[in-house]
Amino acid sequence: MLTYFANLSPQHRRSWGLVVAYVALLLAVSYVDFGYNTAGQTAFRGILLGMLVFMVASGLSLIFGLLDVLNFAQGAFLLIGAYVGYDVYTSLDAGTTVRFLAAIVSGVVFVGVLGAIMETGLIRPLYDRPVFQIVLTFGLAAVLLDLVERYYGPDPKQPLDPPGFLDNNFTLFDQSLSYYRLFIIFLGLTMMVGVFLLLNRTRIGIIIRAGVQDSEMVQALGINVRLIFTLVFVLGAALAALGGIALVPYQGATLEMGNQFLILAIVVIVIGGMGSYEGTAIASIVVGLTRAVAEQLSLEHFDAPVLAETSILLLMIVVLLVQPSGLFGREE
Amino acid sequence: MMSMIERTIYANTQKIKDPTLRGLAESAARLVLENWAYLLFVIVLWRFPYIVADLTDTEVQPRRPTGDSVFWQSEMARALALTCLAMSYNLLFGFSGVISFGHALFFGAGGYVTFIVLNEYDASYQQGALIVVIGITLILALFSRMNVRQLLIIALIGVLLTLLLMPGEGTLSFYQAIGLAVVASIAVSLISGVVTLRLRGIYFAMFTLALAEMFWVLAKSGTFRDITGAEDGLGFRDILPESFNPTPTFDGSRLDMYRLTVVFFVIVFIAIRRYLNSPVGRVMIAIRENEERARTIGYNTFYYKVLTMTFAGVIATLSGLLFVIWATDKRVHPEALSLKYTVDPLLNSLIGGIGTLTGPVIATLGLSLGETYLRNETFTLDTGLFGILTVWQLAVVLVVGLVWWLFRRPLQTGLRRVVDMVRRDTARAATFASGTHGHWALILGYYGLVVLLLLAVGLVIGSEIAHNLEFKGDVYNVSDLWELFLGILFVVVVMALPHGIVGTWNTFWANRRVRRLEQSAQQSAPKGNNSAS
Amino acid sequence: MTDYILEVQNIHTFIGEFHILEGVTVQVPPGSITVLLGRNGAGKTTTLRSIIGLTPPRSGQIIFKGEVIQGRRAYHIARMGIGYVPENRIIFRDLTVAQNLQIAERQKGDLDRKADFIFTLFPDLKRLYTLPGGNLSGGQQQMLAVARALVPDNDLLLIDEPSEGLAPVIIEQMMEAIRQLSSHTTVLLVEQNFQVASRLAERYVIIEEGLSVHAGLIADLVQDRDLIKTYLGVA
Ligand SMILES: Nc1ncnc2c1ncn2[C@@H]1O[C@H](COP(=O)(O)OP(=O)(O)OP(=O)(O)O)[C@@H](O)[C@H]1O
Ligand SMILES: [Mg+2]
């Protein structure tokens, strides 16, 4: 960890400074404006949101970094994960904990298989027509959304009870919260660390990082890069699905949440720098916090929480104008 | 055939004595001869209400009840609006290579901006707009590298537009509202262009998607019900001037409006064609082919892209307004800003043929009129098709065919691997239990187990499917499955027909012509030196 | 069959719609250094990339160790025993020197077996072992790129312009390393620097506008001033 900071390039060091300053500013504003407790609650919500966004964004970023495909179907993966998870969670006949685990496994596996089929069958033949790859993932996202709507109906699904072992409350900042929220944060952190270890400590991770720079050269070393491509695509899809399932006991399942998180994830990778893992992780938290604080601000001052929607876009515009390659991206 | 007619006509023009008249006749003849298919199409469009009326024995403009002709007039008019949307998308994506995933924003803005300003306008807006113009000029003066003359021009245009489109007293006219919608669309184009078009194309796609989604959410939200009407959208039966109101009971205005729609379509088509043939358009196509090279030659590719983006945005805005005017409930809904109106023009451009002029027209008209025509048809899985297959069998054939075709390479290698594996295992078992014939037992036992396992899994999945197939007797509406059909069509076109219908057709004929020419060249050329190619 | 380890027979390679190679024939006998000569943009790099399978030829034949390899996937070809050292010393900047070498392992333990050999050829790399590849100097990066191809047991090395942009001292060192290599494996080299090429290689093939126009022993070429002048523009 210390060596990480010691080896930082000047650009990244400045970006760290910016991030810390910005987050401090956000916290200060919310403290002054909302008071201690509400500010704390808002920050907590922001971190929670950041963790969920991270699960979509990390896949988006990894896939883009290695395959050079921006997977617009990433939101649809989250959506399908959520609905399949919801389906399993409500239809099984067992204790909540068992049902919850079953929901996670089935959702992740289902979406993982879907991702594998999509990558091998549809994306792979299009590597020499990259524009069509983007168009394809975008179109597929719409098609998948349609299918989910046909199959599960247009009405939103209500949040479900969290699994038994998490169905307790604790008090934080004067607010009673379900342990399930802590679980989401824990899950997000686990994924962050897990993927970090995968990228840095395993042979596959090293191949992925090498492939991000030059996949052709990796291939010329005798490594079946296409297989790694599929693997990363599946990993990204599975992470998004996991995020979707994690959302079910928290927010329920709605048709809109796929695109909602896709947009957040897009903003995250633009801010963090496309293809940079650390950037994605940091920007997820930044975006989550921004969103939560903006929501609270627009609620208190304009009684219009939707206005928070604009905050994300403003953030994106500012970053694109000031540092188009993102905070931790490589200059192009 | 055609060439004979051509020659006769040209020969006749030559008989005219007066040189000016002859010149005129010549160009008229060329215009007609080169565009006869387009002209025919426009005539059919123009006469469409009457054609339908004749075919269905209904009236073009009945009092009540309305008949088929009236119904198809609206359908055709809406389809034409969508066609213009698709053409504008194709201009951007197909001819310029700029991928926008937020085109719906412009489409929706057509209705929303027009009616919001009509509803909300009051005279104080004029001063506000003037202040904005001054502010923008100041910002540009401070932060951009424009010189005084450019700044003055910008300020002048801004002031003129304000005075033209925003009355200082009284209310806004409908035309001024349309003008404001166009201005808004241009402003959005410029902003998105400045923010992202200098970067890699993918940034533009992401940005426009986020922008459009944001406005969709805002339009849907109940918070701004006073302004946007939330899910109910904005209605405008009363605001609309009579000449724009295609309500069936009005005398005359409905047919006029239909004709106006056709005229709009023709103008858009010609404008895009002209644009592409203009120097700007040609640079644009060069950029699509190779942006790096266009930049090296010295073109400011950014400028051309923003220009095209603006042009396409304005067309989309006007199409959106037209679409709302022809909507059955005369309201603009949040749906107009949703992904649907980005995906549809994308799909139509792809199916028709990106980078072709007529492709989006054919695909949009075909698909949207086709959907209307089939919308209320029903079928069951056992309905026979063409007397050979049932729907159910066709679906199985299609799915299996699609899966095989998409996965043919992995499946082939997989099969080869399995065969290899069996062969290897047999050999290994043979050495392991050589001479005792026991190896056959080993192999049978091993593979028997594997086969049994596969069978079990297959049975479970199979019975699950069979169980779910209880819906076999159910009756389906075509419209229920229309989107699924479009989705499959989309995948097939992207994977197999990247040039769409028209593009594939054109390449086919072009290749044939080239082959013919080569053949005739080979025949006429002296033998022995045809190695150069 | 033949006594060549690699035979490239009349290959035609396209990049997009551009016809880049219009008939290249190269024959490489085992245990020697063969050099591809030709002007800038003649198609030397494309020839190497065609062999390894990164730009597969559309027609013609490539035979490596008696097996037809064109049309196979690049990783498959590499695994048959071909190491590729690309132009412009492409190493993985974000990975450490150690990881750059590890990634080239085809079997576990490849690197352990070869480490000593690699460090005797390029002693610098031992010192830089834990540094990110991006921090290395140009010459060191070139050494790493060559070393990477040495990690697995390769029967043929394709080396593209190893001396490009290097200081004379480093070039000497690199040449020495390649000479030592060639006692273990066969080398197909692309080299613009005719001095370097003529001192290293035994055989040459000249490529001109996508066509192999001349081949033979380098010793004969050195005598043939006219030929050198016509095709290479140096005298
Ligand atoms: N992606 C590409 N698109 C179009 N043409 C290309 C592409 N890559 C290479 N070429 C062309 O192919 C030809 C051969 O290129 P190649 O890199 O093989 O030459 P080379 O002999 O290695 O040259 P150098 O000595 O400069 O490295 C050149 O004319 C080059 O312009
Ligand atoms: Mg080269």
Domain boundaries defined on chain B? 2-35, 84-121+172-368, 122-170, 382-523
CA distance A209 to A211: 5
Q: Are B5 and B32 in contact (CB under 8 A)?
A: no
pLDDT of residue B533: 39
8 Å CB contact of B195 and A321: yes
pLDDT of residue B250: 54
Q: Which residues line the pocket of ligand 1, CB cutoff 6 A? A: C 15-16, 18, 20, 38, 40-46, 87, 192
CA distance B359 to B347: 11
CA distance C134 to C122: 18
- 3-state secondary structure (DSSP) of residue B396: helix
Planar angle of CA B380, B386, B391, nearest 5 degrees: 30
For residue C113, how many other CB atoms are within 10 A of its CB? 13
Determine the average pLDDT of the residues in C15-32.
89
pLDDT over 60 (residue B490) = yes
Start-to-end Cα distance in chain C: 39
Determine the average pLDDT of the residues in B21-36.
83
In Å, the largest CA–CA distance within chain A is 60
CA neighbor of B280 nearest in space, from B411, B403, B96, B130: B96
pLDDT of residue A121: 85
Q: Whose CA is nearest to atom 26 of ligand 1?
A: C40
List domains and CATH numbers for chain C.
6-232 (3.40.50.300)
pLDDT in tens, B65-109: 677 888 888 899 999 999 999 999 999 998 888 899 999 999 999
Nearest-atom index, ligand 1, CA of C192: 25
pLDDT of residue A189: 93
pLDDT over 80 (residue A108) = yes
Percent of chain A residues topping a pLDDT of 90: 46
Which tokens is C3 given? 């006594």
Q: How confident is the model at residue B531 (pLDDT cuts 50, 70, 90)?
A: very low
Nearest-atom index, ligand 1, CA of C210: 14
- Residue A182 neighbours by CB under 8 Å, 6+ apart: A170
Angle separating helix axes A179-201 and A36-67, nearest 10 degrees: 30
Identify the contact set of chain A against chain B, taking CB-CB distances under 8 A.
70, 72, 120-122, 125-126, 129, 131-132, 134-136, 138-140, 142-143, 145-147, 150, 259-260, 263, 266-267, 270, 274, 303-307, 309-310, 312-313, 316-317, 320-321, 324, 332
- 3-state secondary structure (DSSP) of residue A128: coil
pLDDT over 90 (residue B319) = yes
Q: How far is C151 from chain A (nearest CA, A)?
A: 10
CA distance C189 to C178: 10
Give the Å distances, CA to CA, from C234 to A113, A146, C210.
60, 67, 20
pLDDT over 70 (residue B249) = no
Poorest-pLDDT segment among A29-43, B205-219, B453-467, C36-50: B453-467
pLDDT of residue C66: 87
CA neighbor of B178 nearest in space, from B111, B81, B83, B80: B111
Instruction: Write down the mean pLDDT value for chain B.
Output: 83
Q: How many helices (H) and strands (E) does chain B have?
A: 22, 6
CA distance A131 to A215: 19
pLDDT over 70 (residue B466) = no
Q: How far is A309 from chain B (nearest CA, A)?
A: 6
Strand order in the sheet with C186-190: C82-85, C156-160, C186-190, C33-37, C203-208, C211-217
Closest in B195, B403, B494 to A136, CB measured: B494
Question: pTM value?
Answer: 0.86
Nearest-atom index, ligand 1, CA of C39: 25
Instruction: Write down the mean pLDDT value for chain A.
Output: 88
Which tokens is C40 given? 């800038």
Identify the contact set of chain B against chain A, taking CB-CB distances under 8 A.
97, 99, 101, 195-196, 198-203, 205-207, 209-211, 213-214, 217-218, 221, 223-224, 339-340, 343, 346-347, 350, 403, 406-407, 410, 480, 483-484, 487, 490-491, 494-495, 498
| Residue scoring higher pLDDT (C12 or B426) | C12
Chain A positions touching B224 (Cβ under 8 A) are 304, 306
CA distance C48 to C34: 12
Q: Whose CA is nearest to atom 14 of ligand 1?
A: C43
Paired with C205 in beta bridges are C36, C215
Closest in B205, B407, B480 to A134, CB measured: B205
- DSSP letters for B243-270: GG---TTSSSHHHHHHHHHHHHHHHHHH
Q: How do beta strands C82-85 and C156-160 pair?
A: parallel
Residue owning tokens 């944060």: A185
| Residue scoring higher pLDDT (B462 or A159) | A159
Dihedral angle, C-alpha A136, A123, A260, A25, nearest 10 °: -120
Q: Are B489 and B483 in contact (CB under 8 A)?
A: no
Q: How far is A276 from chain C (nearest CA, A)?
A: 11
Determine the average pLDDT of the residues in A142-153.
88
User: What value of ipTM does the predicted structure carry?
Assistant: 0.91
Q: Are A191 and A284 in contact (CB under 8 A)?
A: no
- DSSP letters for B265-303: HHHHHHHHHHHHHSHHHHHHHHHHH-HHHHHHHT--HHH
Q: How do beta strands C33-37 and C203-208 pair?
A: parallel
List domains and CATH numbers for chain A.
22-322 (1.10.3470)
- 3-state secondary structure (DSSP) of residue B161: helix
- Residue B422 neighbours by CB under 8 Å, 6+ apart: B447
- Residue B396 neighbours by CB under 8 Å, 6+ apart: none
8 Å CB contact of C103 and A7: no
8 Å CB contact of C94 and A213: yes
For residue A129, how many other CB atoms are within 10 A of its CB? 14
CA distance B482 to B489: 10
pLDDT in tens, C74-91: 999 999 999 999 988 888
Closest in C74, C90, C92 to A219, CB measured: C74
CA distance B358 to B342: 19
CA neighbor of B283 nearest in space, from B313, B318, B307: B307
At A261, which amino acid appears?
A: F
pLDDT of residue A283: 94
Dihedral angle, C-alpha A287, A63, A139, A57, nearest 10 °: -20
pLDDT of residue B435: 57
pLDDT of residue B269: 95
Chain B positions touching A310 (Cβ under 8 A) are 214, 218
pLDDT of residue B530: 45
Which tokens is B203 given? 């940034």
Give the Å distances, CA to CA, from B30 to A318, B5, B13, B153, B281.
54, 12, 10, 41, 23
Q: Chain-centre distance of CA B474, in angstroms? A: 33
Q: Are C117 and C150 in contact (CB under 8 A)?
A: yes
At C109, which amino acid appears?
A: G
Percent of chain C residues topping a pLDDT of 70: 98
CA neighbor of A232 nearest in space, from A63, A57, A58: A63
pLDDT over 90 (residue B240) = no
Determine the average pLDDT of the residues in A116-136.
88
pLDDT in tens, A175-196: 778 888 888 999 999 999 999 9
| Residue scoring higher pLDDT (A82 or B123) | A82
Poorest-pLDDT segment among A149-153, B122-126, B385-389, C213-217: B385-389
Q: Are B257 and B60 in contact (CB under 8 A)?
A: no
Q: Are B342 and B216 in contact (CB under 8 A)?
A: no
pLDDT in tens, A247-283: 988 888 999 999 999 999 999 999 998 888 889 999 9
